[in-house]
Structure 1
Amino acid sequence: MDRSGAAFRRGRLRLAHLVRLVPVLGFLTGVPAGAAPLAPTPVPDLAGATLQPVAYGALPGWSADDQGAAFATFLASCRALAKAPAEVGPASRPRLQPALRQACAAARRLGTPNPVLARWFFEAHFRPFAITPTASPRGFLTGYYEPEVEGSLVPGADYAVPVYARPPDLISDAPGSNKGPAYRMQNGARVPYWNRAEIEDGALAGRGLEICWLKDPVDLFFMQIQGSARVRLPDGRVIRLNYDGHNGQPYVPVGRLLIERGIVPRNEMSMDRIRAFMEADPAAGKALRRESPSFVFFKAVPLKEGEGALGAQGIGLTPGRSIAVDRTLHTYGTPVFISARLPIASPAPETPFQRLMIAQDTGSAIVGPARADLFFGAGAEAGRIAGRIRDPGDFFLLLPRFEPREAAP
């Protein structure tokens, strides 16, 4: 092709690229005719932390990240903000929802942008703020995953560990929440619901609450910690189980007990070490599990091809892009940039992790303004990585620039 033809092709590509930029540039330069007026989104109060505005150039690794992947995850949250899914967990703080919906409208106009355009989208529609906890200089990260375990729809010698659905006699002061006490009626009075030991000893047996039966009681314990699982049946089918409430008893981190008793050094603690302890001495493992009286109930939910575990926002989580946050402080759908060095490639915290994440889930142990659980996907390898992450990290909240004027306080 001659030089003039090549120049023509380059010019046409630039023009097509600029056409795709129109929604972003238009959002910055004005509001479409007839649209509701916009107002700058006020910086929210974040209990237990200060928010300091920073430039995107100050975010470590921002320019090297794939914001296109984060954009796809953000769009999933946008769909949930537009129409609540059928399966939704505990609600998050609603303060940023109007502003997020405003950004979502612009995101939908972009379609599927390339990574560079996706980065420009986030820079155009969000302002970054460093989150500095008042109690510590940095935030704290853990990991979680979706276990895949062996189970059966009928009990048998190899499948003797029942997975229970939420009992109809369970009374909760906060239905749908993963916190707070729960009760049952006894002789006309409310009493605490059965604890783990009582349930394992048969308190719920024979009531038709069994969804399926597992091979290994350790698998059930880790399912309850993670809040979901894929159960592979003997015929090869896979069913998904998702969190559907708990017995209201306190959750005791058994890893902490192993550290306090000198069984596992603090710097070696991981889910693999907990599992190894339980499997090496089943009686001691059973006794350790019973020191945490909390017990989680499940429900079967549809398993779509390629979809990650369902988060509290009611959508499938994206491995490496979804996080669980403190729902009382943050709004589902909010982008959060995280910078840390984590034990991903090896047990040593040496792998750089500088990535834009989307808040789509929560958890009873996820408490604080700069506290997140990173979702790593399903299966054993995801579990190995997630189980060894207990590391500090830096958090940057991406605050939507604008919200509908009527939503401003």
Structure 2
Amino acid sequence: MATSSTNASRASSKISSMRRFLVALIVGMLAACSSVPLPPADEPPRNAPGGAAPVADESGPLPPAIVQGKSRWQPVRFRDLPGFDEDALHDAWNAWLKSCERPAPAFVPLCPQIRRLSIASADEQRAWMRERLQPYRVEPLQGSPAGAEGLLTGYYEPLLDASRVPTASQSVPLYRPPASLASRRPWFTRQEIDTLPDARAALRGREIAYVADPLDAMMLQIQGSGRLRLAEADGSVRLVRMSFAGTNDQPYRSIGSWLLQQGAVRDASWPGIKAWAQQNPQRLNELLWSNPRVTFFREEPITDVDASSGPRGAQGVALTPGRSIAVDKDSIPYGTPVWLASPGPLVNLQRLVLAQDTGSAIVGAVRADYFTGGGYEAGEIAGRLKQPLRLWVLWPK
């Protein structure tokens, strides 16, 4: 997502040696080339892009802890954030710009400065964060000592081949919400949808497309969205997005946990689940029906502008691969910048991310689902990601 202009960048470099006029020239030039209004005169950006910004003094007293829903935020110093000085912030800043499309109230005053800082260096962005934000370590309200680890998992946007009409090889439907969804809560379970005439009748004519593998259809439902390489009835093929449009309000049950409880597998990752299903086709329905929750979709076009972005998360903005997380919204508000640290054998993460989504399995204070992107490789990472986690929210001072 490009947010800087070539002219502004070149002009910034030309005036870097004019130290005594630096702040005045940069602020004036950005006002001329940006449609974003400047902050009031009595609250200028404290670290405008284009020059070396001073590091904020971290020797003062810390603010009190904050209770936020199911979590307690314990104030810390920026030096306590592992890897804070090493993160390349460009992609994270792009994700932050997207959050500023629908900002949380606490961040509304900061968004004009966040937009202007998109052309700044990572060091200048870090200096501004130290100046304007206070880090808090996220902890559970009950039961865990300070610094207790949570859990990081991953999710992604699947890409599946699909057909607009059922065929011999693609016969598993993806549905729009049924007309009776609002009048019956909870709606029919997955097993009832497959077996009861009333449930099947309610979904007749609500089919959007058909895929080949019922496990792939379930994965699309678990992830909440995905892309289809869709073969139309006229023979054309186009790329569309299946976006979340509701559920049957039944409880979510992990099919991986079901297999572990059955003693059927030791590897409950998604590749392990698919391997078991190929070896036990006679038990496939039993596996599928162990998760009664069904997700319904709406079809959305994919334009050239958003082809590289993910689906819209619960905040209502497009997700950024590697920089968006799903959280428990009762512990971390949508749009909050979060410092994430998760060492593990699969990936070692120390980076700035944005809380832009949620999920039915994402419950608790120190809990996050990491958006890995779209396609096969992203799915391989997401399907195996299960690591210790620590989180720090970065909240306006």
| TM-score, structure 1 normalization | 0.77
Deviations 1:283-322 (CA, angstroms, capped at 9, x unpaired): 2122111111111111112323212122111221101000
Question: Partner residue of 1:89?
Answer: none
Question: Partner residue of 2:189?
Answer: 195
* Cα distance change on mapping 1:48 and 1:21 into 2, 3 Å: farther
* Correspondence 1:360 to 2:356: yes
Whole-Å separation in 2 of the counterparts to 1:41 and 1:389? 35
Question: Partner residue of 1:27?
Answer: none
Deviations 1:120-175 (CA, angstroms, capped at 9, x unpaired): 22222211011122334112111000111110111111221111100111126xxx
Give 1:102 shift: 1.4
**In 2, are the aligned partners of 1:138 and 1:393 still within 8 Å (CA)?**
yes
* Cα distance change on mapping 1:250 and 1:9 into 2, 3 Å: closer
Whole-Å separation in 2 of the counterparts to 1:384 and 1:16? 51
**In 2, are the aligned partners of 1:343 and 1:385 still within 8 Å (CA)?**
no
The amino acid that maps onto 1:237 is R
* Correspondence 1:216 to 2:224: no
Question: Partner residue of 1:99?
Answer: 106
Whole-Å separation in 2 of the counterparts to 1:55 and 1:41? 11
SS at match of 1:392: strand
Q: Say which of 63, 67, 77 aligns to 2:85.
A: 63
The amino acid that maps onto 1:148 is L
Question: Partner residue of 2:149?
Answer: 138
Give 1:80 shift: 2.0
Deviations 1:313-341 (CA, angstroms, capped at 9, x unpaired): 12211010000011223211100101111
Q: Say which of 153, 156, 159 aligns to 1:148.
A: 159
Question: Partner residue of 1:334?
Answer: 336
Segments of 5+ residues of structure 2 without an aligned counterpart are 1-12, 29-38, 44-61
Backbone CA RMSD of aligned residues: 2.7
Question: Partner residue of 1:157?
Answer: 168
Percent identity for Structure 1 against Structure 2: 39
Whole-Å separation in 1 of the counterparts to 2:22 and 2:348? 32
* Cα distance change on mapping 1:15 and 1:220 into 2, 3 Å: farther
Q: Say which of 225, 229, 233 aligns to 2:230.
A: 233
How many residues of Structure 1 are paired with residues of Structure 2 in the alignment?
344
Give 1:19 shift: 5.6
Give 1:396 shift: 0.6
Whole-Å separation in 2 of the counterparts to 1:49 and 1:327? 10
Question: Partner residue of 2:245?
Answer: 244
Deviations 1:317-372 (CA, angstroms, capped at 9, x unpaired): 1010000011223211100101111343xxxxxx3210111000011111111111
Whole-Å separation in 1 of the counterparts to 2:282 and 2:19? 68
The amino acid that maps onto 1:386 is A
SS at match of 1:363: coil
For residues 29-68 of structure 1, what are the structure 2 equivalents within 5 Å? 32-33=40-41, 44-68=66-90
Give 1:204 shift: 2.8
Whole-Å separation in 1 of the counterparts to 2:357 and 2:179? 25
Deviations 1:64-115 (CA, angstroms, capped at 9, x unpaired): 111232111111000123xxxxxxxxxxxxxxx2221112132123343222
Whole-Å separation in 1 of the counterparts to 2:100 and 2:14? 35
* Cα distance change on mapping 1:370 and 1:237 into 2, 3 Å: same
The amino acid that maps onto 1:214 is V
Whole-Å separation in 2 of the counterparts to 1:15 and 1:285? 71
**In 2, are the aligned partners of 1:131 and 1:396 still within 8 Å (CA)?**
yes
Question: Partner residue of 2:372?
Answer: 376
Question: Partner residue of 1:117?
Answer: 124
**In 2, are the aligned partners of 1:278 and 1:286 still within 8 Å (CA)?**
no
Segments of 5+ residues of structure 1 without an aligned counterpart are 1-7, 24-30, 82-96, 173-181, 184-191, 345-350, 402-409
* Correspondence 1:78 to 2:78: no
* Correspondence 1:387 to 2:397: no
Give 1:15 shift: 6.7
Whole-Å separation in 2 of the counterparts to 1:148 and 1:55? 41
**Larger RCO, structures 1/2 (Cα 8 Å, 6+ apart):** 1
* Correspondence 1:12 to 2:17: yes
* Correspondence 1:301 to 2:300: yes
